Structure 1
Amino acid sequence: MDFDFTEDQESLRDAVRRWVDKDYDFTRRHAIVKAGGFSQEAWDGLIGLGLMGLQVPEEQGGLGFGAVDAMVVMEELGRGIVMEPYAQAALIAPTVLRQAPEAVQAQWLPQIAGGEALVVLAHQERAARYALDKVATRAVGGKLSGAKSLVPAGDKADAFIVPAQAEGSNGGIALYLVGRGAAGLATRAYSLQDGSRAAELTLADTPATLLVGPEQGLALLELAVDVGIAAMCAEAVGAMDKLTAITAEYLNTRKQFGVVIGSFQALRHRIADVKMQLELGRSMSYFATLKLGDEPAARRRALSQAKVQLGHSARFVGQQCTQLHGGIGVTDEYVSSHYFKRLTAMEMQFGDTLHHLGEVSARMQDQAGVFA
């Protein structure tokens, strides 16, 4: 099997990497964190690269690229620990909107492709504990009432994709689109531990547009979350790759007893273990991306497997690299601490490691091993 990337994919990687290196260095990122965790200028930079239309169909003004292309982009954004919600706007939102009525597609997909609209998924609720089928938000007469938590850049978004219990469906989940200016909609923004921006979303008899009914709503929500997990796995690989490189450079420059500490055998063994965990995470990220096109049961199990491995890898790489740096590794002024914060936050998003370990276990059936 050929695992090499195509020339177009390598060109895409190079373009995103150059933008990250030039326009999203640590100094600028640090300033964005201090300013609230979202930069319109950085967002405009992503739009200028043409990345917003990556998975929007060509007939709607997009590029119509596939999952592997998205993985390439997310790895490079992970290397720069870019905080702006690219995966939400350019990968998850088009996944859902492509299944919406044609009129809704024609209204929103070209705007997403052109960077004119930021649409995010608002699905998480306080009592759900990552379970996608536990939704307290209700739809009555085309209006939604409820609350959503940890909505990415919720106070900056132009519209929200909101799961809710459909009226008369006996608890069936439908997906709705809510515009920013809708009556009864309120947002409360705050910064997360990794510096990114999120918001609480409150809906009180808020008018909404039906995207997908209760017959397909939960299945499409699961697909959207799986797309988000695959994107996050790729982002984590990029972040771990860069953090490992930063740590290796530190070991080869920091001196103790007159020699670089990278010459100490114990530290060489530890950085080798870090590299092994990085490569385990990379292989499972590839696995997750390639499984997005499978039938739902196999896809869901594969994405949970990948999230488990990436959770273990991210924690190990983050902890070991921080310890190998010593005291400087936990200071806010030094870049490695921000990689560790971002990896820690990613481990909790779209279901933490323990949640997905349970998902893998529930889907093992007659297999003997977790990753069999």
Structure 2
Amino acid sequence: MDFDFTDDQNALREAVARWVDKGFSFERRHALAKAGGAARAVYTELAELGLTGLAVPESMGGMGFGPVEAMVVMEELGRGLVNAPLVHGALVAPALLAAAPEALQADWLPRIADGSALVVLAHQERAARYQLRRVDTRATRQGEAWVLSGAKSVVPAGDEADAFIVPARLGGAAADESGIGLFLVERDAGGLAVRGYPTQDGARAAELTLASTPAALITDDGFGVLSRAVDIGIAAVCAEGVGLMERLTALTVEYMNTRKQFGVTLASFQALRHRIADVKMQLELARSMSYFASLKLGEPDAARRRAISQAKVQIGQSARYIGQQCVQLHGGIGVTDEYVGSHYFKRLTMLEMQYGDTLHHLGEVSSRMQDSAGVFA
């Protein structure tokens, strides 16, 4: 199998890397985090690069790129520790809106592509424990319109978004896959309350409360659409994680080559060299599984879901190992707020819990393992 990137993909990577080097220093990110984590201005700059149109069809003003291009972009944004909701607004939202009526697509997708609108998925609920099928928010029809009642938690960039895509139950029990609809709720809709707050990694999230809030129906058969869109988001955060781990490893190697102990650099000690070798092994395992996740997005549901969960498990394990080892190899400076390495570790910690933590996805992998290897055949 050919894992070489095309010239266009390499050019895209270089363009994003140049912007990161020139436009998003650690000092800028640190200042944004201290100010509360608002990142809409950064999102606008990414829109000027065309990145908000990555997954939007060309007919709607986007570039119509695929998962490999998204992976390339997210790796570079991860290396730069870029604080912007690109995964949620430019990759997940277009995948959800692809199931919407044509008029709704025509209203929102061009604005997503040019960055003038930020639409994010609001799907997490307090009792769900990462289960996409667990939806307690209710949708009620009132004449020709729909209203929603319920609550959503930890909505990324929720207090900066212009609209939300909200799963709500049309019928069935709270944990049924059937009976889930997807709705678009605009920020200024009546009955919608948004409470924003900063997150540990310097970004922002929000709690949403919906009380008979007007909404536009995207699809009344939402579980399959939601599952695929979340898988796209997982593949993207896996790629971001690879970029984060790669840069944190490079920072640690640089530190070991300059920091002296007993008159020699830390890199002179064989035991520490062995530890950094293990770190690099975990990095390459994570990179391989990130590629695997992106390449499997076009597969049928069962194969795709299993592959995505396998990748998320490896990313979570690698992120924890690399983060802990690199902090220990730095010593005390590795956990200070003024040092860039600690911010990579915090972002990796948050990323490990996004779209389901390692333990959740380990359970997903286990539930999908049907092969017996001939032992019980």
Q: TM-score by structure 1 length?
A: 0.97
Alpha-carbon separation, structure 1, partners of 2:121 and 2:41: 22
Query: CA shift at 1:24, angstroms?
Result: 1.0
Give the aligned residue type for 1:244.
T
Alpha-carbon separation, structure 1, partners of 2:195 and 2:52: 26
RMSD: 1.3
Query: CA shift at 1:319, angstroms?
Result: 0.2
Q: Aligned runs of 1:27-66 on 2, under 5 Å?
A: 27-66=27-66
Give the aligned residue type for 2:111.
Q
1:156 aligns with 2:163: no
Give the aligned residue type for 2:285.
L
Q: 1:198 aligns to what? A: 205
Q: 1:361 aligns to what? A: 366
Q: Aligned runs of 1:64-143 on 2, under 5 Å?
A: 64-141=64-141, 142-143=146-147
Q: 2:191 aligns to what? A: 184
* Identity fraction in percent: 70
Is this contact kept in 2: 1:161–1:176, CA < 8 A? yes
Query: CA shift at 1:258, angstroms?
Result: 1.1
Gaps of 5+ in 1: none
Q: Aligned runs of 1:329-368 on 2, under 5 Å?
A: 329-367=334-372
Alpha-carbon separation, structure 1, partners of 2:43 and 2:32: 12
**Cα 1:368/1:80, change in 2 over 3 Å:** farther
Worse-superposed segment, 187-196 or 316-325: 187-196
Give the aligned residue type for 1:198.
A
**2:355 counterpart SS class:** coil
Is this contact kept in 2: 1:71–1:289, CA < 8 A? yes
Query: CA shift at 1:368, angstroms?
Result: 5.1
Runs of 4+ off more than 3 Å: 167-171
**1:208 counterpart SS class:** strand
Alpha-carbon separation, structure 2, partners of 1:284 and 1:368: 22
The structure 1 residue matched to 2:283, chosen from 274, 278, 282, is 278
Query: CA shift at 1:128, angstroms?
Result: 0.3
Provide Cα deviations, 1:129-181, integer angstroms capped at 9, x if missing partner.
00011100000121000000000110110000000001589861010000001
Gaps of 5+ in 2: none
The structure 1 residue matched to 2:223, chosen from 218, 225, 228, is 218
1:298 aligns with 2:290: no
Give the aligned residue type for 2:98.
R
Query: CA shift at 1:195, angstroms?
Result: 1.2
**Cα 1:335/1:368, change in 2 over 3 Å:** farther
Give the aligned residue type for 1:200.
E
**2:258 counterpart SS class:** coil
Query: CA shift at 1:316, angstroms?
Result: 0.3
Alpha-carbon separation, structure 1, partners of 2:315 and 2:298: 20
Provide Cα deviations, 1:253-292, integer angstroms capped at 9, x if missing partner.
0011111111110010000000000000000000000000
Alpha-carbon separation, structure 1, partners of 2:41 and 2:15: 18
Alpha-carbon separation, structure 2, partners of 1:82 and 1:187: 24
Alpha-carbon separation, structure 2, partners of 1:14 and 1:179: 36
Alpha-carbon separation, structure 2, partners of 1:43 and 1:102: 26
Query: CA shift at 1:39, angstroms?
Result: 2.9
Alpha-carbon separation, structure 1, partners of 2:36 and 2:372: 47
Is this contact kept in 2: 1:140–1:167, CA < 8 A? no
Provide Cα deviations, 1:46-84, integer angstroms capped at 9, x if missing partner.
011011111100011110111000000000111112121
Give the aligned residue type for 2:323.
G
Alpha-carbon separation, structure 2, partners of 1:18 and 1:231: 20
Is this contact kept in 1: 2:289–2:314, CA < 8 A? yes
Alpha-carbon separation, structure 2, partners of 1:183 and 1:252: 58
